[in-house]
Amino acid sequence: MSLSISQQQLVEQFSLLKSWEDKYRFILRLGKSVPAMDDVLKVDDVLLNGCESNVWFYGEVVDDNLHLNIYSDAKIVRGLIAIICESFQGLALDEVVTFDCAQFLEQLGLLSHLSPSRGNGIRAIIEQIAKLAQKH
């Protein structure tokens, strides 16, 4: 599968960042773009298991388009959420199901720098997105 425009843009942006510290700062900046979630929505029913920090996941498919509202109390995870959401942007539902987002994040040089528990949490988010797309 070739890369979508959003994925290509992420690859280009990360290719400009030479050190892990630069990537880390960039991820934190991206995390600021994730809209705050109203406390009323932060309920246990949508809290993802397997994440080191709290991650609330809302997703729906409307007119064959994926709509994601994901939030974390951890700054770095919010940045990774922004990257994950951007990497799925514009994909058809069948592409969402087959897209190996974990491999893509590794291509960006991200997963190898995360703790095992944080990596598991990121994989839980990706898995939840794929399940949502599979339902439709």
pLDDT one-digit tens code per residue, 86-95? 999 889 999 9
Region 5-135: CATH code:
3.90.1010.10
**Could you give the percent of the chain with pLDDT greater than 70?**
99
CA distance 66 to 116: 28
Q: Which residues are catalytic?
A: 51
CA torsion angle for 63, 9, 109, 34 (degrees, to 10)? Answer: -60
Its pTM stands at: 0.92
List, for residues 82-120, the tens digit of each pLDDT value: 999 999 988 999 999 999 999 999 999 998 899 888 999
